[in-house]
Amino acid sequence: MPIKSSTPTANAYFRFLQLAKSIHQLPETPQIDANEKALLEEIALRWFENRTMTVREAISLEVLGSPATLHKRITRLRQKDLLTAFNQTEDKRAKYLIPTEKTIALFGIFGKKMNVVVTSAG
C-alpha cells in the first residue's frame, strides 16, 4: 500500500521535483536528455563557482558515463549552443567549458519559475 503522508521537507522536495519536471517541458527549453542535462548542470555549476571545468575534467566524470560518451554529449551541447569551449592564453592545450548566454538565460527562466512556486507555496 502506498504511503499517504510525508514530512514537510519531503513535501518540499516533491514540489521541487514537480517544478523541475514542468520547467523542462516548457516550449523554450532545448530538447536535451537527462544525461546531457546532468552534464550541463555540472559544467555550469563549476563555472558559477568560478572553477571552470576543462574538457578533460568533464570526460572524467565517470558517474555520468564513459569518456567517449561524455565527449559526444559535450559535442551535442555545443551544437545546441548550450556550451562553448575556449583556451587560456597561457595554456593552449587545455580547453575550458562554459555555459553560453542561451544556457544562462534558460537557467534565469527556471529561476523565475521556481521563485513563483516557492512564493505561492509559502
Over the stretch 52-101, which tens digit does the pLDDT of each residue have? 999 999 999 999 999 999 999 999 999 999 999 998 777 778 899 999 99
pTM of the entire predicted model: 0.76
- Do 39 and 58 touch, CB atoms closer than 8 A? yes
* Strand-pair partners of 88: 91
Q: In the predicted model, is pLDDT for residue 122 greater than 80?
A: no
pLDDT, tens digit, 9 for 90 and up, residues 33-50: 889 989 999 999 999 999
In the chain, the percentage of residues whose pLDDT exceeds 70 is 86
Q: What does pLDDT average to over the chain? A: 84
Q: Please name each of the domains of the chain with its CATH number.
A: 33-121 (1.10.10.10)
Contacts of 99 (CB under 8 A, 6+ apart): 40, 43, 44, 47, 82, 83, 84, 107
pLDDT of residue 121: 58
